[in-house]
Amino acid sequence: MDKSMTWKVGLIIAVIALSIWLLWPLDKKINLGLDLRGGMHLIMEVVTDEALAIQTDMSVTQLKGLLKDGSIKYEKIVRKGFNKIEITGSLYDDERKIKDILDDDFRDWTYTVGGSLISLSLRPNIEQQLRDQSVDQALETIRNRVDEFGVAEPTIQKEGMAGDKLLIDLPGVDNPERVKSLIKSTAMLEFRQVVSGPFLTEEAALKDYNGQLPDDLEIVKTNPRRLDKGFYVLKAATVVPGKDLKSARRAQDEYGAPAVGFSFNSQGAALFERFTAANIGKQLSIVLDDRIESVASIQDVISGDGIIKGRFTIDEIDDIVLVLRSGALPAPLKYIEERTIGPSLGADSIRKGLAACLGGLLLVMLFMLVYYRGAGINSVLALFLNMVILMGIMAYFKATLSLPGIAGIILSIGMAVDANVLIFERIREELNMGKSPKSAIDAGFKKAFWTIFDANLTTVISAIFLFQFGTGPIKGFAVTLIIGITASMFTAIFVSRVIFDLTYGRRKKLSKISI
């Protein structure tokens, strides 16, 4: 064996050994997708209007503070819709001062002045930016929650043309109900001032307002597991938004009962300290996911730390801490689609997928052996090696195998066989022209190479577009197809050529190859 053949054979052996080492043990190296392992599939829409409303409420609070600091009198400041603010009152004397404040601190807003009314509207480009940010933040928050819960190989990505929907695939979850409750929990932690309450009914809460609540107030239910069942009238604007929460932890109240401890970042601590200093003696409510968890009187100035007390169990504390620590969602989520796939269905999919894959592989091998005889053994060896390399690369990149992925493997097998067929037919043509085995092999591989390369390149480009714009299962198909085609180029062209050279390349006296 000459030197050139030695390094080629050595490279093939090294690739086989590396692929097997990457792949072994198979059950621990290849991750199965949702359709094979079972699990949960969710599609959710981020209600971005609510994110804008929260941001507008924060701007209302900021504006009130600035007008108070400037000794500017007004009747009221309220949010209109989700992206507008109205200031009413006798504003003539202070109109110039108000405009200066808006020009300096509210550059993201446009405003109009008309007598005793000033209207502010969020700029369209800022509005779109906030919508995009809320979706990105929701995506990252859910990913953090899923990671903390310990789900292996989840798929969490944007979905839909508008980019406001999220696709979540959680394969292999063993407690679907708990995972759903954690994901569904928006973890909107708010600290809001109590105006009045508690009331036994919502009608009783509206009695003092002639049945029509002002825009800057809201009626919120208590969580019956924490407080006596009832309703409170709260300020609509939150004192500190959930995004300013720095950390959450398991804690105890003064009686040793389980509680949720929390800390604010510097911005949240400053807001909370300023609010409590101005409202000593008044009541403050802690609202989690639109339910009042706790109500307490403000006895002193509070800055960065506190606890949420209530009738919590340890499991409830752990779940609340998990969703708070992973970050508050910037807006509620609307569930578009929810599907749970049982493990038995996944096992059935595995059986059928493997049967299809092995069945197709065996039929292809049988055809190649019958039609191409000795050369068919060459293609069979190349196909086996192609499968080993493909699975080894998938194991190295921790790719997730799904039913579409199995389809991609089968298609890559077909592409590999197609390359062998092109090469073998070219070699036959050369032999029929009377060339020697070595010359026929050289010419066959050279003439077939660019046809094989062009066909595989166009397929890879299509697969790249599928990966870029497709969802989870489509991406799985694209990944396995790209890896399979790459492996088939190596096995069909390089490995097959080495086998031909070792078997027939030196038989100069033979006029025919077993092909």
For the chain, the structural domain boundaries read 3-36+342-503, 48-126, 129-338
> Is a pLDDT exceeding 60 seen at residue 511?
no
CATH number listed for the domain at residues 48-126: 3.30.70
Q: At what angle do helices 472-489 and 374-396 cross, to 10 degrees?
A: 130
Give CA–CA dist 295/191, Å, rounded. 10
Phi and psi of 337, rounded to 5°? -150, 140
Euclidean distance between the first and the last CA atom of the chain, given in angstroms as a whole number: 24
**36 Rama sector, left if φ>0, alpha if ψ -120 to 50, beta otherwise:** alpha
Give CA–CA dist 233/208, Å, rounded. 11
Amino acid identity, position 161: M
- Reported as a single tens digit per residue, the pLDDT across 110-130 is 888 777 788 888 888 888 888
The two structure tokens encoding residue 383: 């196909």
> Is a pLDDT exceeding 70 seen at residue 208?
yes
| Percent of the chain clearing pLDDT 70 (strictly above) | 81
Give CA–CA dist 25/23, Å, rounded. 6
DSSP output for 247-310: EEEEEE-TTS-EEEEEEE-HHHHHHHHHHHHH-TTSEEEEEETTEEEEEEE--S---SEEEE-S
| Closest C-alpha to 66, from 7, 146, 120 | 120
Q: What is the mean pLDDT of residues 381-403?
A: 81
| Closest C-alpha to 202, from 190, 178, 218 | 218
Q: How many helices (H) and strands (E) does the chain have?
A: 16, 18
Looking at CATH, the fold of the domain delimited by 129-338 is given as Gyrase A; domain 2 (3.30.1360)
- Reported as a single tens digit per residue, the pLDDT across 290-333 is 788 778 777 677 776 766 666 667 776 776 666 565 556 677 77
Give CA–CA dist 186/141, Å, rounded. 10
Amino acid identity, position 439: S
Q: Do domains 3-36+342-503 and 129-338 have the same CATH topology?
A: no
Q: What is the mean pLDDT of residues 64-72?
A: 80
The pLDDT assigned to 510 comes to 43
Instruction: Point out which residues pair with 47 in neighbouring strands.
Output: none
Q: What is the mean pLDDT of residues 362-372?
A: 83
Looking at CATH, the fold of the domain delimited by 3-36+342-503 is given as Multidrug efflux transporter AcrB transmembrane fold (1.20.1640)
CA distances to 183, 185, 325 from 333, in Å: 9, 9, 18
